[in-house]
Chains A and B, each alone.
Chain A
Amino acid sequence: MERETVISAKHLKKAFGKGESRQVIYSDLDIDIYKGDFTVIMGSSGAGKSTLMYSLSGMDKPDGGEIHFDGTDITKLNNDKLAVFRRKECGFVFQQIYLIDKMNLMDNVITAGVLTSKNRGDIKNRAKELFSLVNIPEKTWKKTSAQISGGEAQRAGIVRAVINQPNVLFADEPTGALNSANSAAVLDVFTSLHDKGQSIVMVTHDKKSALRGNRILYIKDGKIFGECDLGKFEQDNTERTEKLDQFIKEMGW
């Protein structure tokens, strides 16, 4: 069956620095992201996983190439149009969470929600549903990020990321700053969202996190070096785990 492509990037180029300190991250990278997939991008440190993800999401501009997001070449958009694109099409979850300091969780979510909806009541109602989905109790909604655990904060970060019902949810090492219990809770939220049809692109070097995806891409030497189809996530499915182990071993991780 033909899969629907949501992002299609061709001949991507990206380098940092100038002169002798210039470091080429990728010089001719092609990648497709499919609708409904939970795509995981893996690779060694400095391979350019996050750089690629931020390019695909319009957060960063590649030095060359095209990125078609739902048919629009986002490399041609100016900064303001990119901002409008991101608010409608993308959601972001960061390793450092980055909830706005001193702003309570509900307001953090509303701050994103007001960008696409005129009705604050609707935003609040949807936020409440999502808070329930990610298991954040009502008494916590009025707390700031400094008053809750890292896991709760990251789950609130996910709520903020999906409040506008993005086409693709991007996550950059979402469990990188969390302990194992909190990590599991956060990953469960991702799985739950994926089960509801949410397209997700996650960058990680954590195998447990990667197992939640159905499609694993490995980036190396500035290219998509390998790809692995893990199929739908199932808890305690050792076959998937072994398949992932085998894959990353082959990739030279």
Chain B
Amino acid sequence: MVRLKKLSTLILHNLNKAKGQYLSFGVFICLTAFIINIALVLAFQTFDAYDDLFDKLDTADINFIIPRMQDHDNLLAEVEETDGVSFVEKHEGVFTPVTVREFADSDFDMNTVFYNIDEERTLNLPDVNKSSNQRDSSVYIPMYMKELGGFTEGGSITYSIDGKEHTYHIDGTVQEMQYGNYGTGLIGSYFPKEVYEKFADEYSGSVITEYSIKTTENADLGKMKNEIAKMIKEKGIALLSINDRAASKQTRTMVCTLLIVIFLAIAAIILVVSIFLSNFRIRSAIEDELAQMGVLKAIGYTSNMIIAGAVMPYVLVGMIAAVIGVAASYAVLPSVAGILAIQSGFSYAPVFDIMAMLIIVPVLTLAILLFSYLSARKIYRLEPINAIRGVVGEESTGQNILLFIVAFGIMVLLSFAGTLLYNVNVKPDNFMNTLSEELPSVIFTAENEKMAELKEVLEKDSRVKLFMEYASVPVSYTDGSLTAFVCEDFSKVTNDICYEGSSPAGDNEIAVGNALADDYPIGSEIEITVGSQTEDYIVTGYIQSVNNAGAVCQLTGKGYEKIGEKTNSVNVYLPDKNAASFIKEYEENYDTVVKASVNFEQMSENGQKMYAGIVSVIVIILFVISVLMVLLVMYVIINGVISRRRQEFGIYKAIGYTNRQLTIKTALELIPVVAVASVISAIAGLWYLPAINNVIFSLIGAIKNQFEVSAFILIAFALVFTGTAFGISVLLSAPIKKITAYSLLKD
């Protein structure tokens, strides 16, 4: 074991003589630790914070909703007797599809359950943040609607239900953990007792009973959910909704999971670059200071001591930088958590996480120790006499290899960022199609008998690019409930969410969501129920859904009509963005035909805005990191070049080369490698980017992403990157000015 105290002079000397190099290395490690800590704190705390709030609010593990009129006294007892059930509580509510007006300047359709906030309950407690007490027309909206919809306490909110508008004063916000966001397919809102009773009277047909179930420890939630759904179905009761804590959690923490994966991927790339950087620096140092290492061996330093002298500065700098990076990340973590709250519908304040630090600092330090040791192992083979005489076994420092790998790696980051940016901002439909189903401009709802008339009007309207009967309706299957996308003809859909097999074409066919894929192979049959009607369908393919935790299916219009009433909504696709005026015109001119309308164009834009905000943060981080990496890597390389070739530069100057010529010459020597690496990376991106996107998006349920990888964008990025690298190289080569022919005589 090398005694570090003996080496302190050597280590401090090594640190001191290449301060800039260690600083650049430290910045890399700091950045790596910064990003990993964000990812780890999110990973450790978001899910725990979710669970804590879940427990704090005594949220049920399984909730299912049935019409109150079908709720019989003995059902509670039967549910209580189900295996794994420890406690059941019934709540009353009004379950209805609503259109929320002015939701982020648009209309927003959502299945909503309105509860009585004053109802006594021990489960599913809402965490209410009251701002006032206007009991007569108050509502408490979920945090998701406040964050994403732009509503504020003290303001008002208008719900449109079956064409009738209800405006309430927003008295506060609630956090609840059973539903919470759009992805769960259901949102809860709360009224004070008086308001609720009035509302429930008006919509008495929509009053529901929510069964909230606490399970025993280690209960199999999926199995229990299936058993309950089966029991409800056997009793001929309509299952309006059933969910479990795992599915809700997965849906509500989707963006968080995505961010964690992206952050970890970025951190991995930076770490690899840092390690190559330290490797390169150590190998260069061995070559540059060969004689001195020989002298150290001559005066009695063992190889281990010299290696320790070379490695320890990196380890020390890396350790300190990692701690700084971890600490610095806490400055941005509250903002990151705030962004996540928009999608997740619950908030928490990240706190210092000792576990994350205990992972990051030792792991980074050990990685640095290991890889810098591997680079420095060459010292073992260094014979002191050969070192003094300048005889080295291997000549190459791997400068070009380092540059190639770094340029390739940075281009991977840039390509990923560029593709994300392109598909969110330039071609937002690609991104939205990946995360959602159909993206029409307008959705019209008509009375059943008026559907034909509506379609006739749309057929004649030259502004309409495409229209089709399309609806999302709740259905159930043996193991639970599903959201069914019902379309008259799936060959007309604009977003093919079928990732394997095909969408249904016949009335006995169905495509099922990714959550059902394992249990229902293509070609098998699945029993679908609406109310008391049940029908078997043949599975023709699998569809993806980021929302609803993959519990979805596709049915043709005719197929659905075997078990349910004919749907009455039409998706309308317009070539231009003028849905608002289109709706206004139809509501004015065809008010007898159009029962309700949704500006889906605006809704999509709102959704896109939310994701664009998150993506922008990621892209900005990636760009900053890329520029920093180019800057630091070029600094290390050019610094080494200038140091090694001082004599050569002096000779060039002596024979008449100008500083400008030498600066540009030095920069140009490095650029071919950068250019080749970035162009190869850009071309390879056409293959690896879809693979990366597939991996990342499949984690949130989007097995088939619709991202377009533009060769033009990638090549453009490669050229801009090469140009930037050249500019930075010219700037960093400026110290060549300080070299004089005279100074070489002194050397």
Contacts and interface: CB of A to CB of B under 8 A. Distances in A.
Given A98-B291, A100-B295, A84 B9 contact: no
B297 interface: yes
Interface string B269-299: 0000000000000000000010110111111
A84 B302 contact: yes
B390 to A, nearest CB: 10
B292 A101 contact: yes
29 contacts: A59-B384, A60-B383, A60-B384, A79-B380, A80-B303, A83-B300, A83-B301, A83-B303, A86-B298, A88-B300, A90-B300, A92-B295, A94-B295, A96-B291, A98-B291, A98-B294, A98-B388, A100-B292, A101-B292, A103-B9, A103-B13, A111-B9, A111-B10, A111-B13, A114-B6, A115-B299, A116-B300, A146-B746, A164-B300
B293 to A, nearest CB: 10
B299 A110 contact: no
A118 to B, nearest CB: 8
Interface string B287-328: 001011011111111111100000000000000000000000
A102 B13 contact: yes
A233 interface: no
A194 B284 CA distance: 40
A160 interface: yes
A79 B300 CA distance: 10
Contacts of A80: 302-304
B374 interface: no
CB-based closest 10 A-B pairs: A87-B300, A60-B385, A83-B302, A98-B295, A102-B17, A112-B299, A86-B300, A80-B302, A103-B13, A114-B6
Nearest to A53: B385
B291 A59 contact: no
A188 interface: no
B524 interface: no
Interface in A31-58: 54
Given A83-B300, A90-B300, A92-B299, 11 more contacts: A59-B298, A79-B302, A84-B300, A87-B301, A94-B388, A98-B295, A98-B388, A100-B292, A100-B295, A102-B16, A115-B300
Nearest to B385: A60
A107 B294 CA distance: 17
A161 B747 CA distance: 23
Contacts of A79: 302-303, 380
Determine the interface band of chain A, counting residues with CB < 8 A from chain B.
20 to 34
A167 B716 CA distance: 68
Interface in A53-94: 54, 59-61, 79-80, 83-88, 90-92, 94
A146 B17 CA distance: 14
Contacts of A87: 299-301
Contact of A83 (B9, B289, B297, B388): B297
Interface core residue of B6, B10, B295, B301 (most chain A CB under 10 Å): B295
A94 B291 CA distance: 11
A107 B9 contact: yes
A107 B17 CA distance: 13
A111 B13 CA distance: 10
Contacts of B9: 103, 107, 110-111, 114
Interface string B4-28: 0110011001001100000000000
Nearest to A80: B302
A54 B294 CA distance: 12
Contacts of B6: 114-115
Residue from B297, B298, B385 whose CB has the most chain A CB atoms within 10 Å:
B298
B17 A86 contact: no
A107 B11 CA distance: 12
Given A59-B385, A98-B292, A114-B6, A92 B13 contact: no
Interface string A98-133: 101111000100111011100000000000000000
Contacts of B383: 60-61
A245 to B, nearest CB: 31
Interface centre among A85, A90, A101, A146, by most chain B C-beta atoms within 10 angstroms, is A101
A48 to B, nearest CB: 13
A144 to B, nearest CB: 10
